[in-house]
Amino acid sequence: MYEHDVVVVGAGGAGLRAAIAADEAGADVAIVSKLHPVRSHTGAAEGGINAALRDADSWEDHAYDTMKGSDYLGDAPAIETLCQNSPYEVIQLEHWGMAFSREDDGRVSQRPFGGLSFPRTTYAGAETGHHLLHTMYEQVVKRGIEVYDEWHVLDLAVTDEERPEDRHCHGVVGYDVATGEVSGFKARDGVILATGGPGQAFDHTTNAVSCTGDGQAMAYRAGVPLEDMEFIQFHPTTLPSTGVLISEGVRGEGGILYNKDGERFMFEHGYANNDGELASRDVVSRAELTEVNEGRGIEDEYVHLDMRHLGEERILDRLENILHLAEDFEGADGLEEPMPVKPGQHYAMGGIETDENGETCVGGLYAAGECACASVHGANRLGGNALPELIVFGKRAGYHAAGKEMEPAEIETGQRGEFERATVDSPVELGDPGSPGDAVADGGAVAAGGSADADSVIDTTVEQARRRIDELLNSDGIHHSEVRADVQETMTAKVNVFREEDGLKEALREIRQAREEYENVAVSDPSQTFNTDLLQTIETRNLLDLAEAITVGALARDEFRGAHWRAEHQERKDDEWLKHTLLSWNDGSPELWFRPVILEGEEKTYEPKTRSY
């Protein structure tokens, strides 16, 4: 067993910032990651970091833009925490040596982004995430923080009290990809999940193959609610053949969207008469698909994004990476012709329920970054708000887990305070079809032993993980890829930008069938070293849980808000739905419940208004 004060799971932007903060607070901290840190998906972020740095800008304006972008489903304490702290974190990154793009006078450059009332997006060319990742990894190395890279975390070691609010997380169980060793990691003060989103639940996504929502699924099965999972962001500009992202920075610099008739449809068809291509992402994605569905798409699939008018010098200076992506994957020369783009799954606004300090309802367990939901983004995330979320809330989670004194959180977690129980009209039984104790079906039940000591809880969880691996390696059955492909096709076809009740119910039926098929999965590779087949089989179980959670939330929320559009309910219902959807695992029988959104900020209350761009 490995022991540290704080164990951070995941080594992307949020995980690295959490580890640095815990180290700053005096903790013995370690990072456990299934990837080497600089291979984390944060490195694929292209756009930038929103921060109110100029005299003409303010954190209050940033907060208003974020609340408006969230379609008034963001919690004000979390939004204001993000916007107040982002400028300081950007300056800290600059002091650590991050190579921001700069103006001729030496100031850090800022560009317009969708949904912003001021050009406040700082950036480093079109590779902002890459520079962010390397800058913070340098700090981790400099501080001597221990990194267990290529250790795949399988389970959380959590006590098994009846109420999740009474449980405690004592550590995690990891699998060494290089050797097959299964071992416990004891966290004396706290575990921080920073494992990214569930993008691989969809088959057309900007997310890397590693983005399988592991932390979300493990926390869910350990008793932590998943919040607002129905809100999935579909980025309007991805390459049709691969899902590779084309940065919003292209439109921020002045790129234009055209349909097959050469119309600048964002204006000419009235989707966003003021902001056009720089409306929020949900608005632009729906506009593109509407153009395609009404016969104005190119090859009935995509639209064109044109940046030729920006000129070669500006493109090479600020968007050179975009030229390479378009050429390599679509054969399009962005200097000479427009690029094909269409919406693709990009980001999950929902996730592990936390407060503004990253703390969950399970003692000793924290989450930060895309895997968490504070809720900063509500029903729709603004471009440029994901990277500051990583560094602001990663830092806060690291400080809190390490015992640094902080202001008490205003956001409650778990079934405490004001909440209401609910039901959903599902056509099938939800949750785990396996019998209790079934190693394959289980994949993360809380450890037996109630409030047993930490070592016992970890040892029990390690043994559960070993039994699960043995059963997978020594069984005959179907390959996980068949199950995963079915789920991805279902989610892309029926839980996409446009959602209908019949389609959502059919999706739940198909996910249930996939769950039952997963009961018979087996691993074809029997080896103990670099067994990616085993690890992908385990990841597929996580995707099943999350696909179901996304679909349940989408079926329950019978309104149109932000990124969530329902054919039968094409209006925002503030009198009914100014509340978060939460889903608790409930020992394999998921329970739906709601909590009111918090619109009361530090100095003002954010009154819901019609959202237009």
Catalytic residues: 281
* Cα radius of gyration rounded to whole Å, the chain: 23
Task: Show Cβ contacts of residue 38 under 8 Å, excluding neighbours closer than 6 positions.
Answer: 133, 134, 137
Task: Show Cβ contacts of residue 80 under 8 Å, excluding neighbours closer than 6 positions.
Answer: 59, 63, 601, 602
Q: Are 46 and 321 within 8 A, CB to CB?
A: yes
570 vs 283, 291, 557, 565, 575, CA distance in Å? 14, 18, 12, 7, 15
Instruction: Show the tokens assigned to 388.
Output: 């500051």
Residue 251 DSSP code: H
Kind and range of the H or E run holding 89:
helix 76-95
Instruction: Show the tokens assigned to 462.
Output: 């390690």
How many whole angstroms separate alpha carbon 63 and alpha carbon 79? 6
Kind and range of the H or E run holding 579:
strand 579-584
24 vs 5, 60, 396, CA distance in Å? 13, 29, 12
- Strands 565-566 and 498-499, sheet pairing: parallel
Kind and range of the H or E run holding 156:
strand 151-158
Residue 93 C-beta-side C-alpha neighbours within 13 Å: 36
Each residue of 166-190: b (16+ CB within 10 Å) or e? Answer: bbebbbbbbbebeeeebbbbbbebb
Task: Show Cβ contacts of residue 467 under 8 Å, excluding neighbours closer than 6 positions.
Answer: 439
Comparing CA positions, the residue from 357, 361, 363 lying closest to residue 393 is 357
How many whole angstroms separate alpha carbon 549 and alpha carbon 206? 20
* SS3 letters across 474-536: CCCCECHHHHHHHHHHHHHHHCCCEECHHHHHHHHHHHHHHHHHHCCECCCCCCCCCCHHHHH
How many whole angstroms separate alpha carbon 277 and alpha carbon 270? 11
Kindly tell me the number of DSSP H helices and DSSP E strands found in the chain: 17, 22
* SS3 letters across 378-397: CCCCCCCCHHHHHHHHHHHH
Residue 360 C-beta-side C-alpha neighbours within 13 Å: 36
How many whole angstroms separate alpha carbon 7 and alpha carbon 19? 8
Which segments within 201-328 are labelled E, that is strand? Answer: 226-227, 232-238, 256-258, 303-306
Helices 76-95, 386-401: axis angle to 10 degrees equals 90
